[in-house]
Amino acid sequence: MTTPSAPQSIYDLQAQRLDGSPCHLSEFKDHVLLIVNVASRCGFTSQYRQLQELYDEFASPTTDAPPKHQLVILGFPCNQFGAQEPGTDQEIQKFCSLNYGVTFPMFSKVEVNGTNTHPLFTLLKERAPGLLGTEAIKWNFTKFLVDRNGNVVERFAPSTSPSALRETIQKLL
């Protein structure tokens, strides 16, 4: 019996959208990605507003848009830090939509640390360790920037505001 091989790329992975439908992350190939573990009852929750602003500024509104407009933000709710994301997928969707006008892709709750870590976050943490090489995510709104080729470029602390990433994102676009 052979053991399954570890994913070589984020594009090898899948996640479940808030509406329950499956999403192959290969759907986002050739886009710059900002992947964030989010929570609706966190001191950093207001970052949703800046995330949406970045998405509005750099997301491709049409298929014939110029390449510079190809940022996709992926939000992954997580309830592992202070139980700050207790809601159902439907409650999370409603909260994000009503309070912050979120239109970027949002996914079902995941774990980002521990034995049930979602494979995406295992890969992200391995490729972009945190302070002093630690892999564990310390809190909600940790951000990972991924280039068009699926390379994890950088990891940002929860306290780093999304708008502070604008210049770094522009360089990748």
CB atoms within 10 A of CB 71: 23
Tokens 């992947």 -> residue: 35
DSSP 8-state code for residue 28: G
Does residue 42 have an active-site annotation?
yes
**Torsion sign (Cα): 55, 57, 58, 62:** positive
Residue 57 CA to residue 78 CA, distance in Å, equals 26
- Helices 47-58/89-100 angle, 10° precision: 80
- Contact, 17 vs 129, CB < 8 A? no
Q: Is 114 left (phi over 0), alpha (psi -120 to 50) or beta?
A: left
Please pick, among 23, 42, 78, 96, the residue that the annotation labels catalytic: 42
Q: Which residues are catalytic?
A: 42
